[in-house]
Chain A
């Protein structure tokens, strides 16, 4: 199973800083988007720390992560959850140790794709979607008061704000031709899900999908930072060869990128 990846982050039209971060490790199948909060310069610091520490913990953790009682998740999901929990602890301690970063926090939505099994772990209101045959399914539930019917950007879970965090997991199986999309609320607050779905159906190329969606969010005012990561699960031989050559021509894989200045 090959993965073809596109990603882009944008400050939007109102904010001065981009506190969103994405991280791509296609060789590992690990992708994440973090949306920082806490004001200058802490929001940027928090999202950057979140992305980096989750990645580091994923590599440092032993193959089999600890099982919680009544835990019905795959070992790969538990490992991802553990990495997010450790990242929370790290940011929380940093925020307490450095007064200028007091109160910093970050959302995270992460996807770990192992063959056809995908583990999604999230905290906050950044989202993951699965696109399958023109149908877009949301894989995450916002941890915000929005879900309780109050239209406000009030998070009830975030990384780094409390000593422990409740990480939500979701598992799905994917097939060749499916797309996994991760994004910050800068996209979901401005672009309706129907437009996201039709953009994937129409454009197909992950990077073109990201570019299109960021432009659409900016055309709708771009009130917040916008980040989109699109991963295409590539199946058949012809499709793989085609994506291989187009990637060679466009200058190689994107290994990692942080918020553009």
Chain B
């Protein structure tokens, strides 16, 4: 059954299965109720005409827009983005059928050939369809929130028992900006830099000797849970916070 997906600020608020008539407006007697001053009491109406849904503007104050064009009457196509005030309704005609994603993309992106740009609304509409095609709205495809790394102090005197690697770049050294500060006359300002990427954390050697699991750190090295870093008289264990 075709659906309308109600969204505001790139968030899905609700999904409506479409009967033969769907009314959209601010008042409680509508199918899709949008309680917002930018929306008229009875703003628009979508009704089944043969095989197609037709959306009509009900002489609303602020107008009904389909794919950024103001319309009074429009035959809905799969993937159309209907805008009412600040809310958008994505028309998903193919719900329950297997969506050919490539085809959906072709339809949404009306200008094939050269590099083209997909604006935020169309992009969100496409992503919503991709997601629905994959798993009907559950968040299986969403990436797991990335874990934050920590350095636990195993040996040596520091001001904290462990350090969270929250920043994208963290320093170990004598400098004030260091996350883990080394003390002593001959310690370098920056001994090791730990950077955070999509795939995890990387330690890069800067100055003076550092060891990872007993091996000398000379270049860059991706850190794994349980790696032991020895630098400037400290022994630190890398892991992820729970």
* Contacts from A to B (Cβ < 8 Å): 35, 37, 39, 72-74, 77, 103, 105, 116-117, 125, 132-133, 139, 141, 145, 148-150, 152-156, 158, 161-162, 169-175, 185
- In the complex the two chains form, is B205's CB within 8 Å of A172's CB? no
- Complexed CA–CA distance, A173 and B206 (Å): 9
- Interface size on B, as a range, is 20 to 34
Q: Residue-by-residue, is B80-92 near A (CB-CB < 8 Å gives 1, otherwise 0)?
A: 0000000000000
- In the complex the two chains form, is A173's CB within 8 Å of B115's CB? no
Looking across the interface, which residue of chain A has its beta carbon closest to that of B190? A116
15 A-B contacts (beta carbon < 8 Å):
A74-B169, A116-B193, A116-B204, A145-B105, A145-B118, A148-B127, A150-B105, A152-B112, A154-B116, A155-B117, A161-B117, A172-B204, A173-B204, A174-B204, A175-B205
Once A132-B219, A150-B102, A170-B197 are accepted as A-B contacts, the answer to whether A72 and B118 lie under 8 Å apart by CB is no
- In the complex the two chains form, is A173's CB within 8 Å of B114's CB? no
Chain B residues whose CB sits within 8 angstroms of the CB of A116 once the complex forms = 193, 204, 206
Chain A residues whose CB sits within 8 angstroms of the CB of B206 once the complex forms = 116, 173
Does B157 interact with chain A (Cβ within 8 Å)?
no
Shortest CB distance B194–A (Å)? 8
Does B183 interact with chain A (Cβ within 8 Å)?
no
Across the A-B interface, give the 9 residue pairs with the lowest CB-CB distance, nearest first.
Answer: A173-B204, A173-B193, A153-B115, A72-B167, A171-B169, A171-B168, A156-B123, A37-B115, A155-B117
- In the complex the two chains form, is A172's CB within 8 Å of B101's CB? no
Looking across the interface, which residue of chain A has its beta carbon closest to that of B220? A132
Chain B residues whose CB sits within 8 angstroms of the CB of A148 once the complex forms = 126-127, 130
Looking across the interface, which residue of chain B has its beta carbon closest to that of A70? B166
- Complexed CA–CA distance, A229 and B214 (Å): 38
**B interface, by DSSP: helix, strand, loop or mixed?**
mixed
Does B23 interact with chain A (Cβ within 8 Å)?
no
- Complexed CA–CA distance, A13 and B104 (Å): 31
Shortest CB distance A16–B (Å)? 12
Looking across the interface, which residue of chain A has its beta carbon closest to that of B199? A137
Q: Residue-by-residue, is B128-152 near A (CB-CB < 8 Å gives 1, otherwise 0)?
A: 0010000000000000000000000
- In the complex the two chains form, is B116's CB within 8 Å of A155's CB? yes
- In the complex the two chains form, is A173's CB within 8 Å of B169's CB? yes
Does B78 interact with chain A (Cβ within 8 Å)?
no
Does B198 interact with chain A (Cβ within 8 Å)?
yes
Chain A residues whose CB sits within 8 angstroms of the CB of B116 once the complex forms = 37, 153-155
- In the complex the two chains form, is B193's CB within 8 Å of A141's CB? no
- Complexed CA–CA distance, A141 and B143 (Å): 14
Task: From the candidates B118, B167, B168, B220, name the one contacting A156 in the complex (CB within 8 A).
Answer: B118
Shortest CB distance A33–B (Å)? 15
- In the complex the two chains form, is A158's CB within 8 Å of B168's CB? no
Chain B residues whose CB sits within 8 angstroms of the CB of A156 once the complex forms = 117-118, 123
Chain B residues whose CB sits within 8 angstroms of the CB of A155 once the complex forms = 115-118
- In the complex the two chains form, is B193's CB within 8 Å of A72's CB? no
Once A150-B101, A152-B105, A171-B168 are accepted as A-B contacts, the answer to whether A37 and B117 lie under 8 Å apart by CB is yes
Looking across the interface, which residue of chain A has its beta carbon closest to that of B165? A72
Once A77-B168, A153-B116, A156-B123 are accepted as A-B contacts, the answer to whether A133 and B219 lie under 8 Å apart by CB is yes
- Complexed CA–CA distance, A101 and B123 (Å): 23
Q: Which of B112, B117, B168, B169 has the most CB of A within 10 A?
A: B117
Once A73-B167, A132-B219, A154-B105 are accepted as A-B contacts, the answer to whether A172 and B197 lie under 8 Å apart by CB is yes
Chain B residues whose CB sits within 8 angstroms of the CB of A141 once the complex forms = 198
Q: Which of B127, B130, B168 has the most CB of A within 10 A?
A: B168
- Complexed CA–CA distance, A174 and B206 (Å): 9
Chain B residues whose CB sits within 8 angstroms of the CB of A185 once the complex forms = 115
Q: Residue-by-residue, is B176-202 near A (CB-CB < 8 Å gives 1, otherwise 0)?
A: 000000000000000001011110001
- Complexed CA–CA distance, A133 and B205 (Å): 14
- Complexed CA–CA distance, A175 and B30 (Å): 64
- Complexed CA–CA distance, A77 and B105 (Å): 34
Q: A132-B219, A185-B115 are in contact. List 8 more A-B contacts (CB 8 A).
A: A116-B206, A145-B118, A145-B126, A156-B118, A162-B120, A170-B168, A173-B195, A175-B205
